[in-house]
Amino acid sequence: MSGNERGFRERFLAQETLYGTFLKLPATMPAEILGSLGYDFIVVDEEHSPFNRETTDRIILACKAFGLAAIVRVQSGDPANILSVLDCGADGVLVPHVKDAETARAIVAAGRYSGGKRGFAPTTRAGTFGRASQAEHMAAEDRRVTIVAMIEDPEAIDNIDEIIAVDGIDGVFIGRGDLAAAYAETDDPAAMVRRATETVHAAAAKLGRTVAILPGTPEDAATQAQAGSTAFLLSSDQGFLRSAAMQAHDKMSSAVRQARKD
């Protein structure tokens, strides 16, 4: 367990250095393993992986058992998607393709009671199954829920100052993979992604917003930390499995080949 008594949103807003990973396997054990290793959070990837509401619900429960924050990358900014995972007790949402301030305001409204439009249901895990009063539940959820906008489109880069300025957006995640795909037909896609990343960091720094990123290498992580990122997504459960499996196969097969030659 992380052993940190502060809530995830408090730590995220304070720009503590946080480490997480994407979960793409629809099972609880990856979350349990990562929690036992001291990761700060995971992101359940409903956008690109085969999750349903029941699977996400079980993974959120597993995270709570290991003191691991559970963020869900929802399929879209549809209020129903956001409400579903928050009622299950998710610590926040990562919303893809936030291209403008209007979209940013809409996802904030979907995730907040005060000043927002979140559907009220206190008899959920988030509402401690009815133990809290209406006022207690609403106030606690507005303090707890973290709302992060994914910046992964050229339009979002053009509108980044307005997106970052939306009250209730707790931070942004720079989706460099999607940006690279969007800039693929330009003369220098890598340079375009670098400039876009710098633009987001600069806009976030102006208002003290938290930036999350997925670094490709330790050197890249250091570079992005210097630029202002404080939350780091390290690969995914699939990526960890693939990397470890390849490494084990390469080492063992090399040893066996050598032994058979001797």
Active site (catalytic) residues:
48
Measured distance CA(68)–CA(5) in Å, rounded = 11
CA distance 28 to 59: 5
Structure-block tokens of residue 76? 């879209």
